[in-house]
């Protein structure tokens, strides 16, 4: 009952005819997962800033770029490129004549397709589309048994498996956790391979060193073919800006590799408001705009037309504890304000996520996550990293949280579709059939529509208090934990061409053999 | 550190100079609560329906009202009034000529002021304002010791006290829980008295019988003076429609009392989508529109110009379990769609709340609550009942949830204020002072602004994992529980004129003496 068309990526457990709590558990754990395609928002994005405010912030950012400038550190080539482009370079500090970066940015595409190895999973980034991608970066994991420990490659692979199965997860992401059991200089090979092998969704590349970015591009060429990669985007990678106003050599190195290969980068000021930017929303937006504009313009110096995403990651500092705090109204304002500038410059926009500082998937975690997720949807985010699985301010990837978040993504995708105004949606026959004082449970329209009508979260318990007690008085994360285990038990890898698989394995083995392990 | 201007309603604990976990706990429990005034949304509401969709639903609702009609049950007077107004009355079924109700609704005010006994607490209902009011109706309580049991008058009084102290709670509400230890036919007297005595915010009246509504009006006259009550709104009360398409005698009786006394009513179809309305958003909106329009028009037959609020309460049914489910994307669409019709007819709008079917304030509770609260804010809700304290689909009032929800209301109020574009908000001096690679923690602008910058939830833990473990590895509801206890420990009642107090106590005693206890 209530099952929706099964996706090709999933299977049914085949359990039948059990009563009471067990039947309900089976229904919850059933792997008849709904199928979601692309997420195209039916509503225009909300606009927080009026034209006067936009112009004021843009003018201030121009001043910051011209008078203060931005440092491009330990990268003589980058400085040379800026000189040639007409910037005023003093030491490592680049001062930008007004409008230079805006002009350079114009060659970046407003939307682009990132191809997945399964063509039906390719994502279009920009416009009214939103692409959800998993958590990125945590060194720790909350394992399925509840333990909090350093993450391993096996955890990484399991998170990729879950993201592959999750109905509204459009993208496989990148560093879904840090597999710290693998040498630092080699783990990128295993991470990229895991995305290719255990999923058929689009994925991200390594940015921790230029040579690792090159490895990513080479592996993509094995998967997609060299010519296809030269002419199409198959990678989207994350380039953080060292706010305030610094581009470091590592990020510049990776950015150059990807941009020159015609691959996409997300260029994101990484802001803890009050520490890396002013304790004020408009001031933070000014700095974000200056930083993002300069780095995006640089990507176009590397290769005009290279796909690029205007990014923002903003948390605010708790002035009591000095710790970053998440889901605050100010960070939602920064997120939505920066989105308006991305649209002003015809660029796809990255922000949002299910962010929280909480240590467990409790009510703090859920409130903070919603307070970023919903503004991100309404603000018009095109690429949402950290959409599921993030805990503890990004220190921890959590399986339970991943499942909980994924349901929220499904709900957002349904909301974004807008209201069905068809004859069936209008349901006039049902209203006539039922009449005053009746009920709709058995009417023809309900019978016809009950399987697809009204979203129900798999982890939600809407039973009576008494039934909930009989079922073990569980909190939502416990139900999520059961689901994560069931999904992994029933995971089936998408087919991968054997010759490609072997070529990838060879490439990785050769690379690993060519260098000693490094753990820092 | 980090304290904001103290409200007159609150006091400081005076604790000082303790280190580590104790200092953090003190900071969290500090009663230096911020002061919030009215909530005026800086953004226009989101519009889900375009004009074509609005016209289609309106036309369908017209057909429902004319061809199917709405039952006004066991109230001959109401049927006579409708005949006189030009409706086609057949038995208890009233059929409305197209446009009749829309015409009648025009005398209702677009905005009105509900006066509080403390004039600075009076609320304006309509326009861009949002008024938050507590949970309404639960017979059960999750007590401060965690026990789930029937609610008592003491629980009721304590919830009124918390609502009085909560910075972003604008209204004292009505049946914040059912005090089941008091006779059914007398408890309204104690409830109204508790709102008057333990708070100075605006409140709601009894609707469970016409004579109880009359008692409420009489008590309001003792508090405000009879003439003032005749000429001003001092009560807003909740009239639910028995969907589909039925007005029952109880609700009609209370509506007539309040409307004729010039007091406000919220007229709300109470919808479990799929049971009391079609399993479709557009169909549900059609029914909601027909019901609300007819009942609002009836309020204007009672007294043209009586203040009235267009209300919607919508949950959707889980087709798996038959239970109502909350925070679904469909209910958010119903909420926002109905808001557009309220604006179309220049009426204030009620919906939203921190609704959940969860049994505990866990992540399900927080996600579902946010998924109603945020759409309600963006959809332009003017009066939000159930804004804090609701659990278990409205069966339970919870102290812990109340505190957690109130923080979310504070965050929404800050977000709604919009972005500060002043020179201080632009923070250009700070960006210059800090420069590339610096940090803002010690800069002059941060020093000047840290006390008011960036919202931090009192129940949020943003410390390190290690510190959180040392502090007891608590979940957010445990921290909320501590706060609720501290608030109640430090509660001080607002002054109430002694002669008024005595007159109220006399009125209640006389009324109670005049009738035997009834418990059904």
- Asked if residue A490 has pLDDT above 50, the reply is yes
Instruction: Give bridge partners of residue B271 from the DSSP assignment.
Output: B314
Please indicate if any CB of chain A lies within 8 Å of the CB of B412. Answer: yes
Burial B176-214 (b: 16+ CB within 10 A, else e): bbbbbebbebbbbbbbbbbbbbbbbbbbbbbbbbbbbbb
Rounded mean pLDDT of A98-107? 98
Note the pLDDT tens digit of each residue in A220-243.
999 999 999 999 999 999 999 999
How many CB atoms are closer than 10 A to CB B4?
A: 13
Closest CB to B286 among A322, A328, A431: A431
Closest-CA distance of chain A to residue B164, Å: 23
Q: Give chain B positions within 8 Å (CB) of A440.
A: 244, 274-279
CA distance B395 to B139: 6
Note the pLDDT tens digit of each residue in A450-489.
888 889 899 999 999 999 999 999 999 999 999 999 999 9
Residue A5's Cβ-count burial label (10 Å; 0-12, 13-18, 19+) is: exposed
Please indicate if any CB of chain A lies within 8 Å of the CB of B362. Answer: yes
CA distance A256 to A300: 10
How many CB atoms are closer than 10 A to CB A91?
A: 8
Question: What SS3 state is found at B410?
Answer: helix
pLDDT at A321: 77
How many CB atoms are closer than 10 A to CB A66?
A: 17
Per DSSP, helices labelled H in A133-279 are 153-165, 187-198, 210-224, 226-231, 249-260
Burial A204-240 (b: 16+ CB within 10 A, else e): bbbbbbbbbbbbbbbbbbbbbeeeebeebbbbbbbbb
pLDDT at B387: 98
Mean per-residue pLDDT over chain A, rounded? 93
Note the pLDDT tens digit of each residue in A206-218.
999 999 999 999 9
Would you place residue A9 in the very low, low, confident or very high pLDDT band (cuts 50, 70, 90)?
very low
Tell me what ipTM this predicted complex has.
Answer: 0.94
Note the pLDDT tens digit of each residue in B328-374.
999 999 999 999 999 999 999 999 999 999 999 999 999 999 999 99
How many CB atoms are closer than 10 A to CB A484?
A: 23
Question: What SS3 state is found at A71?
Answer: strand
Burial B490-505 (b: 16+ CB within 10 A, else e): ebeebebeeebbeebe
Q: What angle do CA A447, B312, B219 make, to 5 degrees?
A: 140
Q: How far, rounded to the nearest angstrom, does the alpha carbon of residue A128 sit from its chain's CA centroid?
A: 16
pLDDT at A168: 95
* Start-to-end Cα distance in chain B: 53
CA distance A106 to A119: 29
What is the phi/psi pair of residue A386, to 5°? 65, 25
Q: What angle do CA A495, A497, A501 make, to 5 degrees?
A: 105
Rounded mean pLDDT of A112-121? 97
Domains of chain A, start order = 1-35+435-469 (no CATH), 105-416 (3.20.20.480)
Per DSSP, helices labelled H in A199-322 are 210-224, 226-231, 249-260, 281-302
pLDDT at B7: 34
A101 in Cβ contact with A65 (< 8 Å):
yes
Please indicate if any CB of chain A lies within 8 Å of the CB of B361. Answer: yes
Of all residues in chain B, the one with the smallest CA distance to A468 is B359
Please report the residues numbered 103 through 132 in chain A whose beta carbons come closer than 8 angstroms to any beta carbon of chain B: none
Rounded mean pLDDT of A409-418? 97
pLDDT at A338: 98
Q: Regarding beta strands B148-150 and B140-142, do their DSSP bridges make them parallel or antiparallel, or are they unpaired?
A: antiparallel
Q: Give chain B positions within 8 Å (CB) of A412.
A: 329
Choose, out of A375, A437, A460, the residue to mutate when testing the contact with B (most B CBs < 10 Å).
A460
Distances from the Cα of A109 to the Cα of A233, A304, A340, angstroms: 12, 10, 17
Q: Which residues of chain B have pLDDT under 70?
A: 1-31
**Comparing C-alpha atoms, which of B391, B358, B367 is closest to residue A410?**
B367
Closest-CA distance of chain A to residue B449, Å: 7
**Comparing C-alpha atoms, which of A327, A309, A340 is closest to residue A373?**
A327
Please indicate if any CB of chain A lies within 8 Å of the CB of B340. Answer: no
Closest-CA distance of chain B to residue A135, Å: 18
Please indicate if any CB of chain B lies within 8 Å of the CB of A378. Answer: yes
How many CB atoms are closer than 10 A to CB B153?
A: 18
Would you place residue A519 in the very low, low, confident or very high pLDDT band (cuts 50, 70, 90)?
confident
Give the largest Cα separation in chain A, rounded: 79
Q: Does residue A92 have a cis peptide bond before it, meaning omega lies within 30 degrees of 0?
A: no
B211 in Cβ contact with B240 (< 8 Å):
no
CA distance B316 to A456: 9
Closest CB to B461 among A2, A364, A437: A364
pLDDT at A32: 72
CA distance A414 to B258: 40
Which residues are within 8 A (CB) of A462 and not within 5 positions of it... i.e. 6 or more apart? A456, B318, B321, B323, B324, B325, B326, B357, B393
Closest-CA distance of chain A to residue B502, Å: 42
Q: What is the CA radius of gyration of chain B?
A: 24
pTM score: 0.94
Angle formed by the axes of helices A363-379 and A399-416, nearest 10°: 30
Q: Does residue A297 have a cis peptide bond before it, meaning omega lies within 30 degrees of 0?
A: no
Of all residues in chain B, the one with the smallest CA distance to A148 is B465
Would you place residue A195 in the very low, low, confident or very high pLDDT band (cuts 50, 70, 90)?
very high
Instruction: Give bridge partners of residue A325 from the DSSP assignment.
Output: A316
pLDDT at B33: 81
A351 in Cβ contact with A390 (< 8 Å):
no
Would you place residue A156 in the very low, low, confident or very high pLDDT band (cuts 50, 70, 90)?
very high
Per DSSP, helices labelled H in A435-494 are 444-449, 465-470, 476-489
Distances from the Cα of B326 to the Cα of B62, B331, B359, angstroms: 29, 8, 12
What is the phi/psi pair of residue A397, to 5°? -95, 140
Would you place residue A322 in the very low, low, confident or very high pLDDT band (cuts 50, 70, 90)?
confident
Closest CB to B366 among A325, A363, A424: A363
Kindly determine whether residue B325 and residue A371, on different chains, have CB atoms separated by under 8 Å: no
pLDDT at A21: 52
pLDDT at B322: 83
Q: Give chain A positions within 8 Å (CB) of B244.
A: 431, 434-440
Please indicate if any CB of chain A lies within 8 Å of the CB of B55. Answer: no
pLDDT at A474: 96
What is the phi/psi pair of residue B145, to 5°? -90, 5
């Amino acid at each position: 009952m209530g099952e929706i068309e099964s996706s090709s990526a999933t299977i049914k457990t085949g359990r039948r005819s059990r009563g009471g709590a067990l039947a309900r558990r089976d229904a919850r754990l059933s792997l008849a997962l709904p199928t979601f395609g692309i997420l195209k928002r039916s509503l225009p994005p909300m606009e927080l800033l009026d034209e006067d405010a936009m112009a004021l912030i843009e003018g201030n950012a121009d001043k910051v770029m011209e008078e203060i400038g931005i440092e491009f550190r330990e990268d003589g080539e980058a400085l040379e490129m800026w000189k040639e482009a007409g910037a005023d370079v003093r030491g490592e500090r680049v001062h930008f004549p007004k409008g230079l970066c805006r002009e350079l940015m114009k060659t970046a595409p407003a939307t682009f397709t990132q191809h997945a190895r399964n063509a039906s999973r390719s994502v279009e980034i920009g416009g009214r589309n939103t692409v959800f991608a998993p958590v990125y970066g945590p060194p720790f994991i909350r394992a399925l048994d509840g333990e909090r420990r350093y993450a391993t490659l096996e955890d990484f692979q399991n998170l990729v498996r879950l993201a592959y199965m999750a109905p509204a997860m459009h993208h496989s992401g990148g560093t879904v956790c840090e597999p710290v059991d693998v040498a630092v200089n080699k783990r990128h090979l295993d991470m990229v391979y895991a995305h290719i092998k255990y999923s058929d969704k689009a994925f991200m590349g390594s940015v921790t060193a230029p040579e690792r970015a090159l490895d990513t591009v080479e592996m993509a060429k094995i998967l997609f073919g060299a010519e296809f990669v030269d002419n199409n985007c198959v990678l989207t990678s994350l380039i953080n800006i060292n706010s305030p106003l610094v581009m470091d050599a590592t990020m510049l190195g990776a950015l150059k590799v990807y941009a020159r290969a015609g691959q996409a980068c997300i260029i994101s000021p990484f802001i803890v408001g009050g520490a890396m930017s002013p304790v004020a929303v408009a001031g933070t937006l000014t700095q974000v705009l200056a930083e993002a504009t300069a780095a995006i313009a640089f990507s176009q110096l590397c290769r005009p037309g290279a796909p690029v995403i205007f990014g923002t990651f903003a948390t605010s500092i708790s002035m009591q504890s000095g710790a970053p705090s998440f889901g605050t109204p100010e960070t939602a304002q920064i997120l939505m304000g920066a989105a308006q500038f991305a649209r002003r410059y015809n660029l796809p926009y990255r922000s949002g996520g299910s962010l929280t500082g909480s240590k467990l998937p409790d009510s703090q975690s859920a409130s903070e996550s919603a307070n970023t997720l919903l503004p991100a949807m309404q603000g018009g985010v095109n690429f949402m990293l950290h959409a599921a699985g993030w805990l503890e301010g990004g220190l921890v990837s959590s399986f339970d949280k991943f499942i909980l978040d994924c349901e929220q993504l499904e709900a957002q995708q349904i909301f974004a579709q807008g209201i069905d105004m068809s004859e069936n949606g209008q349901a006039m026959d049902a209203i006539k059939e039922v009449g005053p004082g009746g009920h709709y449970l058995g009417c023809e329209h309900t019978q016809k529509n009950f399987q697809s009508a009204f979203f129900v979260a798999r982890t939600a318990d809407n039973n009576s208090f008494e039934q909930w007690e009989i079922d073990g008085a569980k909190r939502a994360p416990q139900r999520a934990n059961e689901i994560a285990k069931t999904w992994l038990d029933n995971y089936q890898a998408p087919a991968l061409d054997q010759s490609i698989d072997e070529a990838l394995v060879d490439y990785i083995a050769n690379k690993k053999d060519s260098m000693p392990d490094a753990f820092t």
